[in-house]
Structure 1
């Protein structure tokens, strides 16, 4: 039973790839996804070029494809059609794989934090085009590639990783480009897997909970029986949340928060067993576990529960001040 629950909790992140050409970087991601323990699966390969060779590669591997020619359409109109296909496929993340379209700020905003790209330079150097020739002309010893989160700034999102490639004295832009592409095939799948896989790592999940818990008034970290916890109200204050990493044989990494009692706890677990569970020890006291090591965690939902749990134990003076602040 625990093994089945763990497998469900570790459902892979669903990824859609966007391309306009041969699909070589898409292929690197695709074949990496077939390796054991890869945290993502590719559910769709989409293109603005209906006869893009990359679509044929994906189809041959059993991956769903979608194409819509952008010609004769406004950028927002085309993006709306692409976006609908991506969402219909259930994509959690987007991987840009040689998608030769500049994306609007609205599209990027809709996928903020969930879209990744690779660029053939050591960013922040040489954003845009002609990266290899620019590196050679500058007398650089190394070219290379970067993987980054996509933001509205061209090639300007947070870096996930880089790989330098030595520039030879005889290099042309084409010869350097061929070696940088080989580096991209290695770097992109690794950085992408690390990025989407963080949602299953206890250290990353703990930091997400800690950041939100400490944002509440007069909250301090305090371990409880070896587990991270958060309390409010000073030294004599009370706990309102605990971090649980598969304690008591449970398959979950979770945050434990207070409910109003057994009736609410039972109703939550019965209604949404993929989100909530009864903790082996704390459940007897009306605490519920919110499962974190799963795809698609709603962090606003987690923040709501942390705040609600905090309000049940916070001194009245703090709760009153917090409620007044919320009104503004």
Structure 2
């Protein structure tokens, strides 16, 4: 999520060569209203041209040749540089290294890459030659999340580029690269902004809430609410609150075990919890969603706890039976 103090997410970019995508990301980050800032450009080649550009633009750099180092040790040094710079996301921009599974796991959901094909078509190398040989009408580029499997992470955005009858891999690559420079900054901006997007947050809450047995959604006082039981007699166990009653929070309202728990959590973790107007007096707590580092497993736990507080006993047994397996 973007850093709430500056309003922008902090991004480290890993490169190996010229860094044209890095340059596109950097200059886009300096446009008005940009959702991210580049706090570090790091390379596995101290001679990478991208470092020269970054230094000229006043961006912090880090370089460490990987030759003679284990993959894990080199990854650890690159990761340390990113975290020391305060990076919340790592973006790969022509970084020609396969990362260790442990490194990828630690940055799951916070590491992006761009690939010069319309994934899942043509993962790996020689994408343009393969697309031409297959007689495809279009090539393109894909921004995706990085996972342990090469070029297999969730697709975040794509752009198509027409293949001309006279194309060579080199000619096609030049046009795809221009398209990449338009795609990558836009997708990165959208991705790091999701944590402040009420619609995206509601979709996450909705998915978790409706996964509980015999639940349904019903609007209440202009907000999405979630009930357990029948349409006629169901009881609310959660509400989605989008800055209602003058608060700056987008939050999930759920039932606490007691007012003591509510007051204790709000006092100890004001960045994560608040006492909502009207609802707070009845023992509902606000779990703040538009903040860095939201633990969605914890959100799911809150939903289940609140669901259990109002669910009829015969329905609650369904969840108990599922948990037993």
Give the TM-score taking structure 2 as reference length: 0.90
Do residues 280 (structure 1) and 305 (structure 2) align? no
Counterpart of 1:292 in structure 2 is 289
Moved more, 290-299 or 17-26: 290-299
**Contact (CA 8 Å) 1:105, 1:152: kept in 2 or not?**
yes
Deviation at 1:115, TM superposition (A): 1.7
- Cα RMSD (Å): 2.4
Task: Tell me the residue number matched to 1:91.
Answer: 87
The counterpart of 1:63, out of the listed 59, 65, 68, is 59
- Cα 1:309–1:122 shift into 2, 3 Å: same
> Equivalent residue for 1:311?
308
Give the one of 15, 18, 25 matched to 1:22.
Answer: 18
SS of alignment partner, residue 223 of structure 1: strand
CA drift of 1:18 comes to: 1.0
Q: Is the 8 A contact 1:11 1:295 kept in 2?
A: no
Gaps of 5+ in 1: 1-5
Is 1:108 matched with 2:104?
yes
CA contact (8 A) 2:141 2:158 kept: yes
Say if 2:195 is the partner of 1:199: yes
Contact 1:135–1:143 at 8 Å: present in 2 too? yes
CA 311–255 in structure 1, closer or farther in 2 if over 3 Å, else same: same
Q: 1:262 aligns with which of 259, 263, 266?
A: 259
**Conservation of the 8 A alpha-carbon contact between 1:261 and 1:285:** no
Match of 1:271 in 2: 268
Q: Secondary structure at the match of 2:220?
A: coil
Partner of residue 49, structure 1: 45
1:169–1:63 distance in 2 versus 1, CA, 3 Å: same
TM-score by length of 1: 0.89
* Number of corresponding residues: 323
Specify every segment of 5 or more residues in structure 2 that has no aligned partner in the other structure, as ranges.
Answer: none
Whether 1:13 aligns to 2:9 is yes
Q: Deviations over 1:229-250 (max 9, x none)?
A: 1122333232111001121222
Give the match for residue 174 of structure 2: 178
Shift of 1:321: 5.2
Shift of 1:256: 0.8
Shift of 1:326: 3.5
Alpha-carbon distance in structure 1 between the residues aligned to 2:120 and 2:149: 12
- 1:239·1:313 contact (CA, 8 Å) conserved in 2? yes
- Would you say 1:236 and 2:229 are equivalent positions? no
How far does residue 318 in structure 1 lie from its aligned partner after superposition? Answer: 3.9
The answer on 1:187 being equivalent to 2:179 is no
Deviation at 1:14, TM superposition (A): 2.3
Higher relative contact order (CA 8 A, sep 6+): 1
**CA contact under 8 A between 2:3 and 2:10: conserved in structure 1?**
no
Separation (CA, whole Å) in 2 of partners of 1:237 and 1:19: 54
Deviation (angstroms), 1:44: 2.1
